[in-house]
Structure formats: structure tokens, C-alpha cells
Amino acid sequence: MSRYRDWLMSDYFDEKTKEELEAIKEDEAEIEDRFYKNLEFGTGGMRGIMGAGTNRINKYIVRKATQGLANYIINYSEDGQEKGVVIAHDSRHNSPEFSLEAALVLAANGIKTYLFDGMRTTPELSFAVRELDAIGGIVITASHNPPEYNGYKLYWDDGGQVVPAQARDIIAEIEEIDDFSIVKTIDEDEALDQDLLEYIGSEIDEKYQDTVIDVLIDTELVEEKGEDLSIVYTPLHGTGITAVPQVLDKLGFTKVAVVEAQADGNSDFPTVESPNPEERSAFELAFELAEEKEADLVLATDPDCDRLAPAVKDSSGNYQTLNGNELGILFADYLLKSSSESGELPDNGVIIKSIVSTDMVKEIAADYDVEVLDVLTGFKFIGEKITEFEETGDKEFIMGFEESLGYLVGKHARDKDAVVAAALAAIMALKYKEEGKTLLQRLAELREQYGYYLEDLESIRLEGKEGQEVIEKTLASLRAKSPEKIAGRKVKVAKDYQESKVVYLEEDREEKLKLPQSNVLQYLLEGEAKLTIRPSGTEPKLKFYFAVKEADQAAAEASLAEFKELVMSEMDSVMKSV
């Protein structure tokens, strides 16, 4: 309660904030939830519900985080103040305000800031950091979270999100700020007059869009046949409207219909239950328009446009969405096959994916002698490897992907890019249409060739302080007594990414894991099944990733359903016992 009283009594916090806090003075549970901790600043940034309090995201928390970043830039870089920071924001409530607050804190610390003049996509921010040779970047976004959320993501000079070692130093700088009043800020006019704030716009947009087109393959096909593919696109009230239609038009796709009711950047996301393209319900309006237009391809991006989901008609004439693993498989196959046929496949090519993404891509890549590298969940780890290989020349990056609808082709950015993914999906759909097939039919051919890999995700939402304790205790319990069997299947290999060890149970031997430490447990089971358990980095959830491989669809679906049911029953018992 002392923090609550401090905020009410301090002259630093404005009247609007105090009125909000006065309104909850009789609700002890709400006060505790808002103040029992500081909003966690993780390895890439922070995300939370907007509102007054230390465990909420508001302008004061944004200022404090930015002051910590400013201190880090001043203390850890030689020319960071001159190189500056690029800031972008999405379509959410308070996003423009939060981005300006961050810019003015940086300016008050003598750090040049480039601020986009309106909402822009996250991948364009990543590109802009590189294009402007900035020291870093900030995106104000909460991705596909509900309307009451917002967030703050940090990037460094390669255009990638800050990685854990660097994040720890930034977090340390933030945590040293124990008094909001020491955070520096100036007004906008002063920042502009001192040339410490510069608004950026169309010139960066054009360079970004042209660069996206430059990294794509088979663009000449679109120039010749672009009118043959009918596309429906929805930005789900987000930033994709600033880039996706423009790139598709520049490529030569002449039949692109945008879902106008979802093209307005409305912060409330009024037409969807959730602005998440992973959920079929988000496609409802897009499918209505697609039926009207007889569309070959439907594309949906999330509010900050770093995730893409496509949909095409199945054999029954119904639109079916493709998940992140399925599109990742199609991208890998298409890029490898096309590059091989054109003689442009690099000898040292590499595909990078997260540890929870499908292993089917490894079998496809093996046919082209291309390595597939696993990294921890979080696209920053893919970006980190791209930069490493660019510096060393050891590997040539082909593509990266995550099962959560994140993909990158090209090295123009260091984060997942739904703009380039949308363009590549459209080119791929056109190519297959000219061959008389759809994306789903090509996927079926690949499964016939390599086996039917099937994956799924189950998340348990555990809110507040008690929920966080359940998550931590559940993982600690599994770590303390590693299971020998899960869902009736023997555990062959157990990987503990926090303890940096992998145990081969059948061989009774142990090795060290080379990836960074992370609170993740992964089990490879008999019958080519895999289970991965990790807390979400952005939401109060415990996540369970399932993977099976069988000979055909029916067997895979039955195997996955049984596997999920047994695992969740066992995990329910574990959670109840902690």
C-alpha cells in the first residue's frame, strides 16, 4: 500500500493519474495487483495492461525505462548520442503519446531521436535503425494482445531486439532509478529547436518497400501474371495498412482488395474478438470479402505487422488458414527449390528456426544440403545469428521462422517481417496457381514425401501474483524430478535450457546445451513426439508445445489429440500439487 500512497501524495504524478487511483481506493486486490511489483522489463522489453501503477504501463513507466536506456547509451557507447534512436508505434491507445514521451526523455539526455510521423510496422522500424545507422530503436506495441494492453520493445544497432546479455545491463540501469523525479524530459518544441528530435516519414517508407521487393525471388512472374491472382488483405486495424498493399501493388498484383472495416487503425479492434491472425475468428470479415471477390489468397497481419497468416480454399471450397509451421515449411521448400533450380543456392546456406518450430523443415533442407539451426524462442535470437553470420561469413542466411507466424527473408531487417512474408506468400500462391495447384496442395505433396508432422500449442493463463507463482513452481517441480515417462511415452531426451544441459536417458549420459539460458524444458519422446514447456515472455501464460509425426493425416491428428489430452491431464495434476 505504501507505493499506492506515494503515487497519490507525490506532486510528480498528474491529476488524471491520481483520479484513476482514487477510484480504486476501496479495492485492495486491485491496488495490490497494480503495485506489488514493477512491471517486468524482460530481455526484449515490457508489455502490460495500461493504467496507473508500477505494475502497469503508463507514461511514467515509459519515461523511466527510456531514462535507463539513455543511461546505457551514454555509458556503454562511444557515439550513441549522435547516432540516435529510431522510434515507431502501432495503432493502440496511448501509443503516439508513449512514443513521444520516450523521444523527449532521450532528447533531454542529448540523444538524437528519429520519430515516425504516424503508425508504422515493427519490421520497418528494424529496417530504419539500419538505414539511419542509429544506435538503437524503440517500438511502442503490444502486438496482438487485447486493446487494454501496450508494450515497449528495444532494438540495437543491427536492427535486432536487444539480446539477454545486453538487456541485463539495460535493466540494471532502469532498476537503479528509484525516484521518478530524476527522469529527464523536455518539451517537444525545445527538442525540435535543438535538432534532437526529427520526424521521419515517406522517404523511409519508400526505401523500406523497395528493399523488400529487392530481396524477393520470381518478381518477374508477378510483372507478367500479377493480374491472375485475386488477393484479400486485412491489417486487423493495425499498421500493415501502411506497407502491405503498397508492396503488393509495386510488385504488380492488380487484384488486391482490403477489408475496409479493418483498415482504420481503430485502437479498440472493434470487429474482432482478438486482433490475432493465429485465431480463425479474426478472418471472419476477410472471408466474407474473399467469397465476394472469389479470392485465391487471403492475408492477415497482426497490429504491428510482424506476424502473417494466409488462407486458401481447400478441396471443399472452404477457406482454410495455414499456421506458422505450415507456411514456414512452404517458404523453405519454395526458396530452396527455386534457388537450386536457378543455381543461386549458397553452398553454406542456413535456415534458422526456434526450438518449438517444426522439425519437418530439417528433412526438406537436408535434400539440399542446407543446415537448419535451432535457437531459443524469440526472433531476436534469429536476428543475432544473422548478424553473426554476416560478420563471420560462416553461413549465408536463407530464411528464419517461428511457429507463431513469424518469418524473415532477406537481411534488410533483424525481426520477423509480415510485409516481406505477405509478398512472398502471394508470389508463391501465383506460382502454384500457374501450375494448377494451391498452397494446401503443395503442402500435401510435401507431407506425402516427408511424413505428416503436426504441431499444436496449449496455453494456460495464470494471472497476477498467484499465477506467476504457479508457473514458477510448476517448472521447478518438473526440473527437480524429471519425468521418465510423459503421456505413456518414454522420455528419450530431456533438455533443460535453464540448467544448460541435455540428458540422454537411454544412454545415461549428459551434455551441455550451447544455447543461452532460458526457463524452458523440452522432452523428446518415443514415437517421434516432442513436448516443450515454457512461460510466455509477454503474457501471464504457461505454454505447452506439442509435436508428433505419423504416416498420414488421420494418424497424426489422432496421435496429437491423445498426446495433448494425456499431457494436459498430467500437467494439471502437477500444477495442483505445487
Residues with a catalytic annotation lie at 143
Here the cell at position 419 is 510485409
Here the cell at position 536 is 510466455
Round to whole Å and give the CA distance between 60 and 269.
25
| Contact between 521 and 479 (Cβ < 8 Å) | yes
Q: For residue 331, how many C-alpha atoms fall within 13 Å in the half-sphere facing its CB? A: 35
* Cα 411 versus chain centre, distance: 17
Round to whole Å and give the CA distance between 499 and 321.
37
Find cell 487485447 and name the residue.
146
How many CB atoms sit inside 10 A of residue 187's CB?
11
Round to whole Å and give the CA distance between 123 and 372.
23
Contacts of 3 (CB under 8 A, 6+ apart): 35, 53, 54
HEC per residue, 467-515: HHHHHHHHHHHHHHCCCCEECCEEEEEEEECCCCEEEECCCCEEEECCC
533-539 LR contacts (CB < 8 Å, sep 24+): 533/475, 533/478, 533/571, 534/356, 534/377, 535/471, 535/475, 536/459, 537/42, 537/43, 537/44, 537/377, 537/378, 538/42, 538/47, 538/142, 538/143, 538/145, 538/151, 539/47, 539/145, 539/461
* Cα 485 versus chain centre, distance: 32
Round to whole Å and give the CA distance between 34 and 55.
5
* Cα 68 versus chain centre, distance: 24
How many CB atoms sit inside 10 A of residue 459's CB?
13
361-368 LR contacts (CB < 8 Å, sep 24+): 361/328, 361/329, 361/332, 361/401, 363/450, 363/451, 364/329, 364/332, 364/333, 364/336, 364/446, 364/450, 365/332, 365/336, 367/336, 368/336, 368/340
Round to whole Å and give the CA distance between 487 and 569.
9
Instruction: Count the helices and strands in the chain (H runs, E runs).
Output: 20, 23
DSSP state of 67: H
Beta strands in 389-466 (DSSP E): 396-402, 406-408, 452-461
Round to whole Å and give the CA distance between 135 and 137.
7
User: Residue 436 phi/psi, 5° resolution?
Assistant: 85, 25
Three-state secondary structure call for residue 54: coil
